[in-house]
Chains A and B, each alone.
Chain A
Amino acid sequence: MAEALLTLEGVHTYIGQYHILQGVDFTVPRGTMTVLLGRNGAGKTTTLRTIMGLWKPSRGKVIFDGAEIGGRATPDIALAGIAYVPESMGVFADLTVRENMVLAAQKGAPDAARLEWIFGFFPALKRFWTHPAGVLSGGQKQMLSIARAVVEPRRLILIDEPTKGIAPAIIENMIRAFTELKRDETTILLVEQNFRFAQALGDWAVVMDDGRIVHRETMAELSADTATQTRLLGLSLETHG
């Protein structure tokens, strides 16, 4: 296994009185895509938000590239090179597509060549460049949310359910984009319920249940192991279609 870029050690997170993460341990190897799977309410989104500093862990360590980042302020974590695509997409609806991208670029104006590369996957963003992001469809907003995360090279990208409610054609473009990112050795931690999407891209599969990691193996191994899929993820043969 490649060297770990991100390591969670015994991470506990409370939201109000609710004990959501109950000792989460896993690693994300450098240059790979790790897919965090699990049923609704397993704690996947809370795990991403804890890594991003949006929820503070009460115990445990979040180690990014050798440095402890657990409990650090969210902007510091972002500036350390971690990008976040939330489930809600987090698009600024009153800002134009261009303005959304300008804000995402930490090193000044977005690089023109990089933008063309992004438009190759998500051409709608070029078409709506000067339009308020609020007028985009759900799928286009998801494109923008992902485009913001990759507007500059990042060391780690956290993505929360990018395919939720998205048309199949856009999902295909996302697969192309993520495949390109993987080729660039960008490390990605993806939360996903769409197992086919996860299968197509993932190198490692980590399964959560009740706020803990309950299983970890390569995606190839999990793809071949339908019994484990059914037991841990509630997947049936029909969903594999």
Chain B
Amino acid sequence: MVRSDYLPLLLVPALAFLALPLIGNPTTWVTLTIAALAMGMMIFVISSGLTLVFGLMDVLNFGHGAFIAIGAYLAMTTLLPMAGWMQADSLTLNLAALGLAMLVAMAGTGLLGWAFERVIIMPVYGQHLKQILITTGGLIVAEQLIHVFWGGDQKPMALPTALRGAITIGDVAIEKFRLLAVAIGLVVFFAMSLILNRTKLGLLIRAGVENGEMVEALGYRIRRLFVAVFVAGSALAGLGGTMWALYRETLTAGIGSEVIVLVFIVIIIGGLGSVGGCFLGAILVAQMANYTGYLAPKVALASNILLMVIILMWRPQGLYPVAKR
């Protein structure tokens, strides 16, 4: 990210205030804006790993949706025997159950990501067309395997007792789960920022996104870094998938494919390889989806494509382009 380039940050309030007169009712506007923040955080968690994978490894991973879906199914399976904790009238037990499910989802998808990188991605480094074909194939196989293991029907993913319903402030109702989603998204963002900006590992990742060859010429094994980032990105997709399924309160094998279009829009808008850009892009995409979903539901997805077109006309490499050699 180019330091002191704050102009793109103004897009979030600009879009919000542009929507206010169109929506009319301030209460609805606040509700939609908070919903957008929560949705943006979930999309950010899902996208953040993918943008690093693309930036660092130059890999177009269309199979990212598989990690979203498998993460959600692993979490659902983990929560089944913990129904007592989920239904208990205790926030601590509820959060403990959710936390455990999220950890299992992240561990499972991280492990799967390691295998995916070794078996599917490694033979096609530097070959974009083959990457698209093989990772899309990987996504299809993963979805079919979900049907085999969990069945093809839609599964319920109920929220725990303490996170159901909404908190009312004045006339504004804020769903409790959305607050949790915002909190998790912020924790992930600040943790990633800390790692990327304050550790040598982060320095290596940022340098590798710019010029992997030079990182190797300085004596660092970038392949190991590739694997670590791919595993972390897959784990974050698993976490994001779990949050997305809880947000929708249902899941199907296609949950990853459904959200992946938004994810690609986010990483393109943000600037491929930029975590800060991804964070901002996710909020903008979620704002657009929520506002247009209310004002003109039929053009909700088209509005995000329009947003992408406008941003790319302004900044062709995304909001925060990563310098490339």
Nearest A-chain residue to B325, judged by Cβ: A88
Other-chain contact of A78, B2, B216, B323 (Cβ < 8 Å): B216
Tell me if B190 is interfacial: C-beta within 8 Å of chain A: no
Nearest A-chain residue to B3, judged by Cβ: A132
Question: Are B1 and A103 in contact, CB atoms less than 8 angstroms apart?
Answer: no
Q: A94-B322, A95-B206, A103-B203 are in contact. Are A79 and B219 (CB under 8 A)?
A: yes
Tell me if A92 is interfacial: C-beta within 8 Å of chain B: yes
B-contact 0/1 string along A94-115, CB 8 Å cutoff: 1100010011101000000000
Q: A90-B211, A94-B322, A95-B203 are in contact. Are A104 and B218 (CB under 8 A)?
A: yes
Other-chain contact of A86, B2, B214, B221, B323 (Cβ < 8 Å): B214
Nearest CB of B to A98, in Å: 10
Question: Are B207 and A95 in contact, CB atoms less than 8 angstroms apart?
Answer: yes
Q: A92-B207, A103-B203 are in contact. Are A134 and B323 (CB under 8 A)?
A: yes
Nearest CB of A to B304, in Å: 27
Q: A94-B206, A132-B3 are in contact. Are A78 and B218 (CB under 8 A)?
A: yes
Question: Are B207 and A103 in contact, CB atoms less than 8 angstroms apart?
Answer: yes
Number of interface residues of B (CB under 8 A): 24
Chain A hits for B215, CB < 8 A: 103
Tell me if B220 is interfacial: C-beta within 8 Å of chain A: yes
A-contact 0/1 string along B194-220, CB 8 Å cutoff: 000000100110110111011111111
Chain B hits for A103, CB < 8 A: 200, 203-204, 207, 215, 218, 220
Q: A73-B221, A75-B221, A134-B2 are in contact. Are A92 and B211 (CB under 8 A)?
A: yes
Chain A residues 91-145 with CB under 8 Å of chain B are 92-95, 99, 102-104, 106, 132, 134
Complex alpha-carbon distance, A120 and B133, angstroms:
54
Other-chain contact of A75, B2, B203, B207, B216 (Cβ < 8 Å): B216
Chain A hits for B325, CB < 8 A: 88, 90
Chain B residues 164-223 with CB under 8 Å of chain A are 200, 203-204, 206-207, 209-211, 213-222
Nearest B-chain residue to A80, judged by Cβ: B219
Complex alpha-carbon distance, A90 and B210, angstroms:
9
Other-chain contact of B213, A54, A73, A134 (Cβ < 8 Å): A54
Q: A75-B221, A134-B323 are in contact. Are A92 and B216 (CB under 8 A)?
A: no
Complex alpha-carbon distance, A8 and B323, angstroms:
35
Chain A hits for B207, CB < 8 A: 92, 95, 99, 103
Chain A hits for B218, CB < 8 A: 78, 103-104, 106, 148
Nearest CB of B to A46, in Å: 14
Nearest B-chain residue to A145, judged by Cβ: B214
Chain B hits for A102, CB < 8 A: 200, 203
Q: A73-B221, A93-B323 are in contact. List 14 more A-B contacts (CB 8 A).
A: A75-B221, A78-B217, A86-B217, A92-B214, A92-B323, A94-B1, A94-B2, A94-B209, A94-B210, A94-B323, A99-B203, A103-B220, A106-B219, A132-B2
Which residues of A approach B to under 8 Å, CB–CB? 52, 54, 73-75, 78-79, 84, 86, 88, 90, 92-95, 99, 102-104, 106, 132, 134, 148
